[in-house]
Structure 1
Amino acid sequence: MDYKLIFDNTPEAMVLLDPDLKIVGANKRYLEVTMRQLDNILGKHFLLEAYPEPNVPYEENPVRLSIEEAIRKGRKVYLDVIRYAIARPDGSGYDERCWEASHTPILNEQGELLYVLQETKDVTEREETKKALQDVEQKFRFMADSMPQLIDADDAAGNSTYFNKQWQAYTGIPMEQLMAGGWKAALHPDDLQSALKVWQHSLEKGEASQVEIRIRDKDGDYRWYLSRYLPMRNEDGTIRMWLGSCSDIHDMKNLVQELLTSNEQMSELADQVQLAFRKVENERMTLERLIMQAPTFFAILKGKEHRYELVNTKYQELFPHVTLIGKTVAEALPEIADQGYIDVLNNVYQTGETFEAKEIMVKLSTPEGQLEDNYLTFIFQPLFDEHKQIIGILVAGFNVTDKYQMKKKLQELGIAVDEL
């Protein structure tokens, strides 16, 4: 059996060191990821000559420490993800990358060290993608924490997984207690059971719900809130999580009550209604600004002809050469119509059923008139008026083309890819 041939063509990147940490062999994959020729590294000290790290003293080099640990323990040792600079072959500087590695001592029958085998992976793209996703999550958390509403999230079974900072600031209840069910103590005793009943009905039926409740602030005063819960579903229709929001309607509710009980205060109430309207309008404008600046693409289509009423920056970036506002989808984006999405929009508008897609390929036209494959995760959600009549469709989602292509590359290299 030709072990050298097997070693050279193994898909994992491997380098073989002698006890003095001099390179005695490296396979093709290792030479490829480290941008080296075998003749240029054979016989050289692994860390001092072949791959020196300019930013870390040799005594503190994590690769050296991992190799020494493997030799000392006489078994394979894994090195967590590290950033390690690799010199460019043309001598123009260094490329700092992220690496995973393991070191395995190879012993003879007497237990003497013959070689050390390093297996390594360049995981720079994965780590950068992970960081990008973490940045997106942080931005969404910032948005949720910045909203005036009390926002919370629950898993599919109804267990609390998140409360925004407004919950703690308003109620004075520590976050740990909120997560453990302490939010119930903030609800008015006369509203708690009815709220729990509505929530249980939502969990059992998988339906959105809303209820008016009173929530106590940290000073012991109660204010009226409109509590809404919406389910987020997976591709197969199962519920992935619940998103809840509580909007302060105390002033508006009091205004309505005063209108019903005293016509004599109509003039004063008119001024208060105007103030309340401005408050609601300001909140609406704040929400619209958040939508326009969000990392998710958003669009609002009005009417059964699906005419663009609002698009945010991320949505417009998908079609930088097309004027969308005021046009129908069919008029502005004929390539979308040709792919059958007008029929999907018609079905959402007629049935009121949300349409969700994950990492689906959509052909989008470039400014040069060419069609490019893009992978999108998006949702078409019906919009209703106060009479529960459908008046339009909300489009929201992410362009996940880069993530999709990276996963494909990793899978082609035989690397298992976890769902993010």
Structure 2
Amino acid sequence: MDYKLIFDNTPEAIVLIDPDFIVLGANKRYLEVTMRQLNDIVGKHFLLEAFPEPTVPYEENPVRLSIEEAIQKGKKVYLDVIRYAIARPDGTGYDERCWEASHTPIYDKQGKLVYVLQETKDVTERENTKKALEDIEQKFRFMADSMPQLIDADDAAGNSTYFNKQWENYTGIPTEELMAGGWKTAIHPEDLPGAAKAWQQSLEKGEPSQVEIRIRDKDGDYRWYLSRYLPMRNEDGTIRLWLGSCSDIHDMKNLVQELLTSNEQMSELSDQVQLAFRKAESERMTLERLIMQAPSFFAILKGADHRYELVNTKYQDLFPHVCLIGKTVAEALPEIADQGYIDVLNNVYRTGETFEAKEILVKLANAEGKLEDNYLTFIFQPLFDELNQVTGILIAGFNVTDKYLLKKKLQDLGVTLDEL
């Protein structure tokens, strides 16, 4: 058996060093990701000569520490994602990339350490994508929590799915209680029946609602709010979710009462009311666009059965013929279940470990039920509560089918990415 041939053509990037950190060999994949020729690194010190890191002292080099840990423990040691600069072959500087690696000590029959094998992977693109998704999620949450309005969202059936931080800050009611219906205790008893009736009519008719209500703050004082609910619809007209906003109109309402009482300045009253309503509507629409029209697709699954709680426009575009909200992934997308992704979701929910995929083939059913090839880059991120228990899963990513097919076409034409 030609072990050298196997070593050279192993798809993982592998380099072999001796106990003194001298490079003995590397396979083709390793040379490709590190932009080196074999003669450039063989016989050289792995970290001081072949791959020196200009920004980190040798004594603190995480690769050196990982290798020494593997030697000390006598077993394979995994190195978490690190940023490590690689010198460009043309000598013009360094490229900082993200890497994952493992180090495995290899002993001879007498138990003497003879080699250390490093298996590494360039995960720069994945980490940049993850960071971009985290930034998007953080911006959306920050925007919603920073809004002065009390913002909430409900599924198509009217079940609460989200309350922004302002709700808890203003009422003093924890988010968990708000989600469980505790928001009703903050509504003035005289206003609650009318608000409930208006909300029920909106659900039945699928139409927006608007009502003025008094909401109690954490000190026990009531202020007037303009409460509005607007349905967001799928392309087929079915309601995807409801977005609610409560805007403080207490000062405006007092002003109105004063003007009505004095029977003066009626034109000014009209201008004030119109301005307040236009402002509330503008802020609501801005929030809706920011949250629901992200450039990447994302969805939130709740519970161990992975039930859709929230999906944005990009995610819904992947399944335009299916109403997702309120359904489990298995119910809404049987083709996804058939491809084994329910097992993947179950594992993320059970272990709390993130699952990531890059340019992976996923077959999605079109409106006629025919499976079509799509290439997706995505992440399944577990969601935790205050007790660090997994409560759901965030799905976020990009449809990279066009990019993948273009790259494949170029490869078929004999053009590599390095030539572009």
Same fold judged by TM-score > 0.5? Answer: yes
Q: Residue 358 of structure 1: which of 309, 312, 318 is its match?
A: 318
- Whether the aligned pair in 1 keeps the contact of 2:100 and 2:121 (CA below 8 Å) is yes
Relative distance call for 1:55 and 1:297 in structure 2 (3 A) is: same
1:115 corresponds to? 115
Distance 2:200 2:110 in 1: 68
List aligned pairs for 1:13-162, cutoff 5 A: 13-153=13-153, 162=162
Q: Which runs of 5+ in 1 are unaligned?
A: 299-313, 315-354, 361-374, 377-397, 411-420
SS at match of 1:75: coil
Work out the CA distance in 2 between the residues paired with 1:268 and 1:183.
37
Q: Which amino acid aligns with 2:403?
A: Q
Shift of 1:130: 1.6
Structure 2: runs of 5+ lacking an equivalent: 296-314, 321-374, 377-395, 409-420
State the Cα distance separating 1:296 from its structure 2 match: 8.2
Structure 2 vs 1, CA of residues 100 and 210 (structure 1 numbering), >3 Å: closer, same or farther?
farther
Distance 1:197 1:106, change over 3 A: farther
SS of 2:275's equivalent in the other structure is helix
Cα distance between partner residues in 2 of 1:46 and 1:68: 13
* 1:172-220 deviation digits (Å, cap 9, x = unpaired): 44667656765444233455688679889999x9978757443212342
Contact 1:231 1:242 in 2 (8 A): yes
The amino acid across from 2:276 in the alignment is K
Indicate the SS of the match to 2:317: strand
1:97, CA displacement in angstroms? Answer: 0.6
- Compared CA separation, residues 188 and 286, structure 1 to 2 (3 A): closer
Secondary structure at the aligned position of 1:119 is classed as strand
Q: Would the aligned equivalents of 2:225 and 2:248 in 1 still touch at CA under 8 Å?
A: yes
1:220 matches 2:220: yes
Q: 1:180 to 1:33 in 2, by over 3 A?
A: farther
* Contact kept in structure 1, 2:252 and 2:272, CA below 8 Å: no
Deviation at 1:106, TM superposition (A): 2.2
Looking at structure 2, the residues matched to 177 and 407 of structure 1 have their Cα atoms a distance apart, in angstroms, of 48
Q: For 2:19, what is the secondary structure of its paired residue?
A: coil
CA distance in 2, matches of 1:197, 1:109: 81
Among residues 264, 273, 283, which one is paired with 2:270 in the alignment?
A: 273
| Structure 1 pair 148–77 and aligned structure 2 pair: CA distance change class (3 A) | same
What SS does the corresponding residue of 2:271 show, helix, strand or coil?
helix
Answer whether contact 1:154 1:243 (CA < 8 A) is retained.
Answer: yes
d(CA) in 2 for partners of 1:147, 1:252: 19
Shift of 1:85: 0.4
CA RMSD of aligned residues (A): 4.8
Deviation track 1:103-147 (CA, whole Å, cap 9, x = no partner) reads 222233444323222111111111112222222223323332343
Residues in 2 aligned to 1:155 and 1:77: alpha-carbon distance in whole angstroms:
46
Where 1:218 maps in the other structure, the secondary structure is: coil
Letter in 1 for 2:317: A
SS at match of 2:318: strand
Assess if the C-alpha contact under 8 Å between 1:198 and 1:209 holds in 2: no
Distance between the aligned counterparts of 1:285 and 1:57, measured in 2?
A: 54
Cα distance in 1 for residues equivalent to 2:77 and 2:407: 27
The alignment's TM-score, normalised by the length of structure 2, stands at 0.59
